[in-house]
A and B are shown apart, each in its own frame.
Chain A
Amino acid sequence: MIEVASLTKRYGELAAIRDVSFTAAPGQILGFLGPNGAGKTTTMRIITGFLPATTGTVRVDGFDVFEQSAEVRRRIGYLPENPPLYNDMSVPSYLRFVAKLKGLRRGDVAVALERVLDTCGLRQVRDRLLGHLSKGYRQRVGLAQALIHDPPVLILDEPTIGLDPRQIIEIRSLIRTLGGKRTVILSTHILPEVSQVCDKVVIINEGHIVIEDQVANLTRDRTLEDVFIEAITRDSGDGSRASAAAES
């Protein structure tokens, strides 16, 4: 469903990601892990077509993100790190705006609106302005916005960040129900989230992929924490040794 092939993104001299490749099968929930600044957001922005890659390709449902951008964008629901909300709009008028932007027909907008209000539990804040909502509800409106055109692919950038434990559990169970018919890429640095929600794990460190495997395979005899810490330390250790060698 999603094929990322040797993506590199350079900002001048600095490479934010180097030769990143992984795939997500249809219906899979893919956990995208990595320390802060490892390149998770950059990779997701490239997949959604917000940023261009320096080299490499991304295919979503067979369509190339750069060549057939409009087709890809129609199929993707994207929740950026900060939910993209207009603070002076009310919940329904915002969601109706997004629905039209995503190309829903006038007749389908009302149905889609009711559907996401239910799935994301937004009934009780229906008449509020987005600027007056709590962090948890803002995150849910962000998710509702990503779901409104019923996309086959969801890209969620740290959907549970800044939420209280109860809200985290709610959002997680919501995401779990979304898998199966949708392909989801979920970035996070909360490891238990991945073992609970995801089918597959991709770990990125300092801009390149260190692990790509099924959750079940990785956690057969160890916890995901051990796997993660080991992978990151081994990788960063190599990196610093390599740079030390280069200097000498």
Chain B
Amino acid sequence: MRNVFTIAGKELRSYFTSPVAYVLLASYLALAGYFFYALLLAFNQTLQIYSMMRNPEMLSRFNLNQMVIAPLLHNLAVLLIFIVPAITMRMFPEEKRSGTYELLLTSPVRVGEIVLGKFLGGLVLVLLMVALSGLFGVLLRTYGIALMATVFLALGTLISSFTDNVVIGYVGALFALLVLYTIGWLGETVQGVSGNLIRYVSITDHFQELTKGIVDTRDLVYFVTLVVVGLFLTQRSVESVRWR
């Protein structure tokens, strides 16, 4: 465990001693703030129009949660699809390029510890990001976004372990996350077993429940499974240099 923290600490330090962490934090927070403001403005305007009509039945159907918070959380999820790969893209390619991969793999450290350390370092940055965006009004529902970001990070880590090229690390992760996020579109039209399967795999369907504030163990199991499988496969992929 000590090795995990050593590596996580080194990762974090390299995010924060370079401009990377600040640029990512600033872009994410600026856009998140803009989304929140725009949604709130729209909500306010609609509310005013409907109150002028003096129709109490219509007004009672107005729901801040459905009209502002849920769409905001979906927007943040899409934003994270673009931001998280920028965190994971350099995890392994940079080590391979600079030769430090040899240092890591010839040290008395287990491969699993290297993978966990890198993941944990990225996780601190991502959770900090999510927590900061939680400060403006959506405090209640950030756990959904946090879970989503953790899954994204685990998959990004996996994809970065496949390559020694930073661009491929980014685009590969972006592609995988977009597929995961949009596969649910098919689930709406496909029937039968394959439809059920697609709906289960789709991250949006599970996220939907969380944005409503419903915490279901089935959704939690889904998120945790993705993280564990992602990290396990990363460990196998890094270890594979030893048996190739």
Binding site for B on A (CB under 8 A): 45, 48-52, 70, 73-74, 76, 78, 80-89, 93, 97-98, 100-103, 145
Contact = CB atoms under 8 A, between A and B. Distances in A.
A4 to B, nearest CB: 16
A49 B7 CA distance: 20
B98 A86 contact: yes
A49 B17 CA distance: 32
Nearest to B10: A97
Contacts, number: 71
Contact of B14 (A45, A51, A86): A86
Contacts of A70: 108, 110
Nearest to B102: A80
Chain B interface main SS type = helix
Contact of B99 (A52, A80, A88, A98): A80
A18 B195 CA distance: 55
B108 A74 contact: yes
B109 interface: yes
Contacts of B18: 88
A58 B85 CA distance: 40
Contacts of B106: 48-50, 73, 76, 78
A50 B99 CA distance: 12
Nearest to A146: B103
A83 B103 CA distance: 9
Interface centre among A48, A52, A101, A103 (most CB of B within 10 A): A101
Of listed B100, B106, B110, residue having the most chain A CB within 10 A: B106
16 contacts: A48-B106, A49-B105, A50-B102, A51-B241, A52-B243, A78-B106, A80-B103, A84-B98, A84-B99, A84-B102, A88-B14, A89-B17, A97-B6, A98-B103, A100-B3, A102-B107
Nearest to B94: A86
B132 to A, nearest CB: 24
A81 B110 CA distance: 23
Contact of B100 (A50, A81, A84, A103): A84
A135 to B, nearest CB: 14
B190 interface: no
A199 B82 CA distance: 57
Please tell me the size bucket of the interface on B.
20 to 34
Nearest to B117: A101
B108 A145 contact: no
B104 interface: yes
B22 to A, nearest CB: 14
When A and B form their complex, which 7 residue pairs have the shortest distance between CB atoms, in order from nearest? A84-B103, A82-B99, A84-B100, A100-B6, A73-B108, A101-B107, A48-B106
Given A102-B107, A102-B108, 14 more contacts: A50-B106, A70-B108, A74-B108, A76-B106, A80-B102, A82-B99, A83-B99, A84-B103, A85-B100, A86-B100, A88-B17, A93-B13, A101-B3, A101-B7
A90 to B, nearest CB: 9
Given A51-B241, A52-B243, A97-B6, A89 B14 contact: yes
A88 B10 CA distance: 11
A248 B107 CA distance: 49
B61 interface: no
B242 interface: yes
Interface string B201-244: 00000000000000000000000000000000000000001111
A103 B98 contact: no
Interface in B12-32: 13-14, 17-18
Contacts of B102: 45, 48, 50, 78, 80, 84
